[in-house]
Amino acid sequence: MNIGVLVSGRGTNLQSIIDASENGRIKSKVVVVISNKKDAYALERARMHNIPGYFISSKNKSPEEYDAELIKILENYNVDFVVLAGYLKILTNMFIEKYYDKIINIHPALLPSFGGKGYYGEHVHEAVLKAGCKVSGCTVHFVRPEIDHGPIIIQKCVEVLDNDNAETLAERILPYEHESLIEAIKIIEEKNYMIDGMRVKILRWNN
């Protein structure tokens, strides 16, 4: 698959995809990286791997205009699969319809808990800690119009420790995000799944 990665931040999940692609663990390639933040370090990572990187400014654009620009770039690079790797801008329904079942998102908690509006970045982990949870984790799911909602491909659990703060918890979860994302892409590029309502079923377990 030709993957387009949408990012807003430092891009460690982007890096894990690039690495898995370069070392052959997945066959798909990241062909373009697009950020809604000008100074996202993810764009620098793209450059270092000779992957085209774009910043699209939101200034004076409706969400629809913004996503139309996004689509134009994705089409230029023949992107057939989109990964949201810490992309904090809300996608329009138009975009989601266009890439239906072709967009995945990684979320740093066990959805449906701690998802939805306002639950991004460290706010997720702060909420997990405030709720007193003893486990958290991460979720890779197909994207549907409702935020942080959609058929789940992979979830992994991570222990919450008594002395955790949002930062230490985020750090402990991050490697599981990387691994989950690669496992999910592998499942999808091998067409090793079917979607049944909200359930994603794996056809063959061959890892």
- Give the strand pairing for 53-55 and 152-159: unpaired
Among 6, 91, 110, 170, binds its own copies (CB under 8 A): 110
Set 107, 125, 141, 149: catalytic member: 107
Smallest gap from residue 152 Cβ to its own copies (A) = 5
- Total residues binding its own copies (CB under 8 A): 28
Q: Which two tokens stand for residue 161?
A: 């420790």
Q: Which two tokens stand for residue 121?
A: 């970045």
> With b meaning 16 or more CB within 10 Å and e meaning fewer, what string describes 90-124?
ebbeebbebbeebbbbbbbbbbebbbeeebbeeeb
By CB under 8 A, what part of segment 178-207 binds its own copies?
A: 197-202
For residues 157 and 134, what is the distance between their CA atoms, to the nearest angstrom? 10
Whichever of 36 and 113 has its CB closer to its own copies, that residue is 113
> Does residue 147 bind its own copies (CB under 8 A)?
no
> Does residue 162 bind its own copies (CB under 8 A)?
yes
Determine contact, residues 111/127, Cβ cutoff 8 Å: no
> Does residue 48 bind its own copies (CB under 8 A)?
no
Question: Is 123 annotated as catalytic?
Answer: no
- Residues lying near its own copies in the complex (CB under 8 A) are found at 110-113, 129-135, 137, 139, 141, 151-157, 162, 197-202
